[in-house]
Amino acid sequence: MKYKARDLFEKTYGYIAASRLFFSPGRVNLIGEHIDYNGGMVFPCALSLGTTGLIALRNDRQIRLISGNFPEMGVIEVDLDHLEYHNHHGWANYPKGIIKAMRENGYPIPQGFDVALIGDLPSGAGLSSSASVELLMAFMLNETFRLAITRKDLAILAQEVENHYIKVNCGIMDQFVVSCGVEGHALLLDTRTLDYETIPLHLGDYAIVICNSKVSRGLADSKYNERRQECEAALHALEPRFHVPFLCMISYPDFIQNQDLITDPVLRKRAKHVISEHYRTLRSYHLLKNQDLLGFGEMLLESHYSLKTDYEVSCKELDVLVELAMAHGSIGSRMTGAGFGGSTVNIVKKSDINHFRDAVAKAYFRATHYVPDILIAEPSDGVKELENS
């Protein structure tokens, strides 16, 4: 990818001198879904797939942005004083939002720059291509202008851009792991305190396999915001008994005993998913620490079932992928990310992967007429500079 990024930069801007090359990963969440905005623990890892970008400073206040993934959009040209959101700027709103937020937070960005990006994350696959672009831009500026912002604060800034500029009310998980990921590890992140532990993923004979359903997350943003509101309403209904700011601060047994406080059955199901998912995440952490992969696989499957029936963020194709994965050798499978399309995460024996790939791809195509992408996830570092040329 770095050669492609250089090539794109050179062809677009006609020079390459003194540009710096960076990489920002995508992410896959192993377990802990839809609980990062409910004060829960989540368990994602950064991927070796992501976005590569080059930046070179200019002597004026102009900013030029190009993405090799959206060549039809050409160069988007703005300046430091005009960074408002525009629909027709598409992907470029992510870097624009970051630049604007950094300036508004008082970080000195006194001059313009040229940027070229290219990514190998399938977009709409639920692997956080947007957080990847956000953190790439934020990190490039942090390094180029020596702003000394911590990785944690870069993640918080990027989440604020999603919430207030892009207007997707997401939690902190994606931006956090894209910023702070560690090669070979997953992060157990407490989304309430932002404390985290890096957990080595020693999976022995097994690998993490991602299956992209190719159904892109159509309704995701509006349904996502709806789920957040439902969680708030459920928490409100539980208030007479629990004075806590987040659903995940309620234990599962306490919830079961008091669930009748929530009279709306839909809201009750939403709360049940959130509180049980938090429990599954903690349980997964212990199972993985004890090398109990089969137990971990069961947690994944239970998580999928809960996301499908109680949280209702799965879709037919994701359910089919999970079923097929389990029928062809996976020891655990579930949708990952926001849902309504995107990908599943699976644990498959390395020696079975070829068979798994063929069998799942064929049967999935027969059932849905989509050709899935099936790839092995390599837990990787967070955003970083590749080389300084």
Checking DSSP bridges between strand 44-57 and strand 20-29, what pairing results, if any? antiparallel
| Under 8 Å between Cβ of 191 and 36 | yes
Neighbours of 386 (CB within 10 A): 15
Q: Which of 34, 64, 214, 357 binds ligand GLA (CB under 6 A)?
A: 34
**For residues 122 and 337, which CB has a smaller minimum distance to ligand GLA in the complex?**
337
* x-marked contacts with ligand GLA along 159-188 as a string, rule CB under 6 A: -----------xx-xx--------------
Report, in Å, the least distance between residue 197 CB and ligand GLA.
19
Long-range contacts of 297-300 (CB under 8 A, 24+ apart): 297/330, 297/331, 297/332, 297/333, 297/347, 298/332, 299/31, 299/332, 300/30, 300/31, 300/332, 300/333, 300/334, 300/345, 300/346, 300/347
**For residues 227 and 328, which CB has a smaller minimum distance to ligand GLA in the complex?**
227
Q: How many residues bind ligand GLA (CB under 6 A)?
A: 11
Which residue from 214, 211, 168, 208 is spatially nearest to 341, judged by alpha carbons? 214
Report, in Å, the least distance between residue 176 CB and ligand GLA.
9
Query: Which residues in the chain belong to E strands, given as ranges?
Result: 20-29, 41-42, 44-57, 62-67, 76-79, 113-119, 185-190, 196-200, 206-212, 330-336, 343-349, 373-376, 384-388
Q: How far apart are CA 127 and CA 29, in angstroms?
A: 8
114 is catalytic: no
The single residue of 174, 190, 373, 381 carrying the catalytic annotation is 174
**For residues 63 and 274, which CB has a smaller minimum distance to ligand GLA in the complex?**
274
Report, in Å, the least distance between residue 73 CB and ligand GLA.
23
**Interface with ligand GLA in residues 315-344 (CB under 6 A):** 337-338
Report, in Å, the least distance between residue 173 CB and ligand GLA.
5
Is position 28 an interface residue for ligand GLA (rule: CB under 6 A)? no
**For residues 111 and 163, which CB has a smaller minimum distance to ligand GLA in the complex?**
163
* Contact partners, residue 31, CB within 8 Å, separation at least 6: 42, 43, 277, 280, 281, 284, 299, 300, 303, 334
**For residues 173 and 331, which CB has a smaller minimum distance to ligand GLA in the complex?**
173
**For residues 174 and 310, which CB has a smaller minimum distance to ligand GLA in the complex?**
174
Which residue reads 């040329």 in tokens?
Answer: 389
Q: Which of 26, 36, 315, 340 binds ligand GLA (CB under 6 A)?
A: 36
| Under 8 Å between Cβ of 31 and 303 | yes
**Interface with ligand GLA in residues 225-284 (CB under 6 A):** none
Q: Of the ranges 34-42, 76-84, 232-240, 259-267, which one interacts with ligand GLA (CB under 6 A)?
A: 34-42
Q: Of the ranges 30-38, 86-94, 209-217, 300-308, which one interacts with ligand GLA (CB under 6 A)?
A: 30-38
- Positions that interact with ligand GLA (CB under 6 A): 29, 33-34, 36-37, 170-171, 173-174, 337-338
Catalytic residue annotation: 174
